[in-house]
Amino acid sequence: RWKTKDLNVQESVTYLGSCLSSSNPKLASATKIIIPSTETFAVDQTPPSWHVGTEVAKSSFEPMIHLDLGVFLLHKGNTAEALLHFQKQQMPLKNFPFLKISKRKMDGYLRSVGLLTTFDQELEDRKKGLNPKLKKLLNVKLDPPPASSRGQDRLNPDQRDTEEGAFIIPGDDKLSLFTLEKRLIESTNAKEIEDCIAKLLGAATHQGLTPRSLSTLFNGWELPIPVQHAVKNLTGGGLAFQEQIYIFVAKSRQLLNCKEYDDAKMMLLTAKSKLQQKFQQAYSAGGQINSYVLNLDKLIIMMDWEILLLDITQFVSEYPDGIDKDDIMDLKSRCRGCLERLQDPKTEVNPRSEIVENILVAFINLGEYSYVANFDKTQNQRWPFVEFIALLARVCHDLFMERKESSSSYRELWSAVLPIFSNNSGSSGTGMNSKKQILNISSKPSMLSSRSSLSWVIDRSCSQPLLSVWVSLLAKLHNHILDDVGVQIHADFLHIWPNILDDVTSSTSVIVELKNNRVSGSSKLNSKHIRDFLFSLLERATKITRGGEMFIWLRCLGDVHLASGSPSLAMKCYIEYLAMCTDFFERSNAPHWEDSKLFKRMIKCCEMLGCFTQAVVLSQFLSPEVDYSVAFGMAIEKTTNDASDSLYGFIWDLTILEFLINLHTKRNEMAKRQQAVKVMGLLELNSNNNEEIQREAISLRRSQFMRTLAKHYIFV
């Protein structure tokens, strides 16, 4: 046995080698080796307890030592010495495919036996001594070819890349190509991307191979079909130019999905600049316009539209802080110019539908309702989804510009959205089949093909008016499902939508059948889907709106939580709403203290949570007078989940205190009775006090109680 110490990699290799050689007589003559177990090493880093290790015969571990050293030496590039260890490990060499192993697997194996070196650092160290010409041609050699030795050919077979990227033995340049491809995929620097493309294509040409398409390196590089076709037709500019444009545009879309707007825009601007340079060179050199020049001109226009789409997406994502007034005017001008191309019969390139739809929704957010409403009428071809966006613009125009209480556009939008939330699409049956398809009948059923189309529009709605339309419509739909009027969602503009479902979704014959069979249309709506849309919409609305506008969404979000059976989250929203409206409960004269509907919902939440004493205190907040039936009904509950009598200090109504004293006396609850008597005897609650003292006492207890609720429901 030999005392051990902390060994580095080289010392470990030397130690293992000495165990196998005869240079150290003591180690070479050893017959047993200690194998550490979990009990050998202590947690507090005290010296190892080798007496609890396992002794095994050295002869049984010699093959494994040869194997570990062989793999390590192969990793270092000493292939001849590695072969000697592989031959001594007493197993056929063909059983160990170390010549075709990924870098990750190799590093993992070396890490498991404690012989890992930093591969990347070693690679960089070796590159420092390369010949500049070799670097330029990418014929990178990690090590000079070793002298031929016996068995050397078996260590240098023709290898193919594995799925994880091949670990190539020294003398092969595939590793350098792999590194360049990795850099090309990861880079967001235009200059570096150009260099990688040039080097990869140059390496293939130098080796006499047909260059592979670099645009297929990454599956996430996808272009819109019109742009892709135009780029593939850039045959006159050379393969490198074609690959550059494709990758720049593809990377811009990839960065756009990651919301890296500045980098994405830089990619598009670089692509546009290169296209303009080629266009000027081709036009000045030939002096005539051919298909190649026309294709360059089309692509330049397409790049402008892609930049416009990126700016619109950034505007919606960063609203209202992402753009100033001057930029908004410029954005409107560019959007109008893009849409005018659709009305030009001589144009050879039109913006694709995605760009048109984004522009129209952006115009609605910017208040250009009339322009969007009339845009659909000027088009020769019919786009159902554009019709839906135009209908949405007419609703906003009638509601916010004309101030109409009723309009046919309201009913059309209602009937267009309603089938999306039908619970019976695809239903089958015999006698009930016609009834199950009632909600699928719409005046314009083809406007929205699926919920994803509706979600697309809602996700791009950021202005206060447009958000109000969506919240009111979805809230009205959800209220049709609820049987309890007390938990219905409150929102502005609920009155503009129909009060019943059947008159706008069904034909006359179907309405008659519906009434004869007494089938409720509301039972056919999917409440889960409606709530999901409401949650997503309101959470986004609270983030992108400022000031008093946000308070409305916060209260509405509380209503949705209450309707969905989450009273704790509803209380959190209600308390946050009240705190913001009253400067954290400091403004005693705020009109929100008189909102009885809000406090009734809070009482409902407390009842659902079993916090009956909190409900008793909140019943005092109702105006114009206290609802004693609610207060007494909550007070008689024996089991409560709140602080019970410790909340009596927030009660200022003497009638409620008298009821509590009488109740605790009957139940022989002396401690609680004494607490109620103590509160009732306070001087500030004397009924003979003037109104100013009474108002001050009420205001103080009211604000203190709301802060207690905030601590309980918010700051947890």
Q: Is residue 309 part of a domain?
A: no
Specify the higher pLDDT residue, 134 or 56. Answer: 56
- Is residue 407 situated within a structural domain? no
Q: pLDDT (tens digit, 9 = 90+) per residue, 702-712?
A: 999 999 999 99
Whether the per-residue pLDDT at 206 is higher than 70: the answer is no
Residue 254 confidence (pLDDT) = 92
Mean pLDDT of 314-331: 85
Output DSSP code: residue 349. Answer: -
Contact 379, 386 (CB under 8 A): yes
Per-residue confidence (pLDDT) for residue 207, from 0 to 100: 66
pLDDT tens column, 78-91 = 777 777 777 777 65
Task: State how far the Cα of 253 lies from the Cα of 266, in Å rounded to an integer.
Answer: 11
pLDDT number for residue 450: 84
Amino acid 88: pLDDT? 76
Q: Tokens standing for 24?
A: 């150290």
pLDDT for residue 141: 36
Taking alpha carbons only, the member of 369, 378, 294, 311 closest to residue 339 is 378
Tell me which residue has tokens 């092969």.
172
The predicted structure's pLDDT at residue 51: 66
Average confidence (pLDDT) over 500-517: 45
Which pLDDT band holds residue 109 (cuts at 50, 70, 90)?
A: low
Per-residue pLDDT at 547: 74
Percent share of the chain, pLDDT over 70: 72
- pLDDT(120) > 70: no
Task: Please report which confidence band the pLDDT of residue 134 belongs to, taking 50, 70 and 90 as the band edges.
Answer: very low
pLDDT of res. 478: 92
Q: Please report whether residue 516 resides in a domain.
A: no
Distances (CA, A) of 288 to 234, 241, 383, 429: 17, 21, 38, 68
Q: How far apart are CA 241 and CA 237, in angstroms?
A: 6
User: Which of 455, 477, 469 has its CA nearest to residue 525?
Assistant: 477
> 84, 117, 150 — which closes off a domain?
117
Question: Residue 302, SS3?
Answer: helix
- Given a cut of 90, whether residue 689 has pLDDT beyond it is no
Least-confidence region, from 133-147, 460-474, 600-614: 133-147
CB-based burial, 154-182: b 16+ in 10 Å, e otherwise = ebbeeeeeeeebbbbbbebbebbbbbbbe
Q: Does the N-terminal peptide bond of residue 419 adopt cis geometry, omega within 30 degrees of 0?
A: no
For the segment 469-491, the average pLDDT, to the nearest whole number, is 89
For residue 176, pLDDT over 90 is answered with: no
Q: What pLDDT, on the 0 to 100 scale, is given for residue 601?
A: 95
Mean pLDDT of 22-44: 62
* Amino acid sitting at position 488: Q
Count of domains in the chain?
2
Domain finish residue from 67, 93, 117: 117
Residues 4-29, mean pLDDT to the nearest whole number? 62
Within 10 angstroms of residue 351's Cβ, the number of other Cβ atoms is: 23
Pick 486 or 374 by higher pLDDT.
374
User: pLDDT averaged over the chain?
Assistant: 78
Which of 69, 93, 117 marks a domain boundary? 117
**Which residues, in sequence order, are CB contacts of 598 under 8 Å at separation 6+?**
555, 574, 577, 578, 592
Is the four-CA dihedral 28, 33, 34, 35 of positive or negative sign?
positive
Q: Is pLDDT of 205 > 80?
A: no
Residue 64 lies inside a defined structural domain of this protein = yes
- Determine the Cα–Cα distance for residues 541 and 550; give it in Å rounded to an integer: 7
Average pLDDT over residues 303-332: 89
Q: Determine the pLDDT at residue 494.
A: 93
Supply the DSSP symbol for 422.
B
6, part of any domain: yes
Residue 272 has pLDDT above 80, yes or no: yes
Burial 312-327 (b: 16+ CB within 10 A, else e): bbbbbeebeeeeeeee
Q: Is 414 helix (H, G, I), strand (E, B) or coil?
A: helix
How far apart are the two ends of the chain, measured CA to CA in Å? 59
Mean of pLDDT values over 11-16: 69
Q: Residue 107: what pLDDT?
A: 56
Q: For residue 111, what pLDDT is reported?
A: 54
What's the DSSP call for residue 56?
E
Instruction: Kindly state whether residue 449 falls inside one of the protein's structural domains.
Output: no
Highest mean pLDDT among 135-144, 560-569, 682-691: 560-569
Residues 275, 554: Cα–Cα separation, whole Å: 49
Quote the domain boundaries for residue 682: 608-716
Distance CA 580, CA 582 (A): 6
In a domain, 523, yes or no: no
Domain contains 418: no
Each residue's pLDDT tens digit, 340-349: 988 887 888 8
| Paired tokens of 175 | 């590793």
CA 97 – CA 4 distance, rounded (Å):
33
Lowest mean pLDDT among 51-60, 248-257, 296-305, 541-550: 51-60
Cα 183 to Cα 192: distance, rounded to the nearest angstrom = 8
Least confident of 142-151, 315-324, 571-580: 142-151
Q: What pLDDT score does 558 carry?
A: 95
For residues 341-363, average pLDDT: 90
Length of the chain in terms of residues written: 716
Q: Is the pLDDT of residue 623 over 90?
A: no
Residue 340: Cβ-neighbour burial (10 angstroms; 0-12, 13-18, 19+): exposed
Confidence of residue 424 (pLDDT cuts 50, 70, 90): low
Under 8 Å between Cβ of 699 and 692: no
CA distance 394 to 416: 14
Tokens of 534: 């409401």
Whether the full predicted model's pTM is greater than 0.85, yes or no, is no
How distant, in Å, are the alpha carbons of 435, 596, 620, 635, 665 from that of 629? Answer: 44, 15, 11, 10, 20
437 — pLDDT class (breaks 50, 70, 90): very low
Choose the weakest-confidence range: 142-156, 271-285, 372-386.
142-156
Work out the average pLDDT over 33-49: 61
How does residue 524 score in pLDDT terms, banded at 50, 70 and 90?
confident
What's the pLDDT score for residue 76? 74
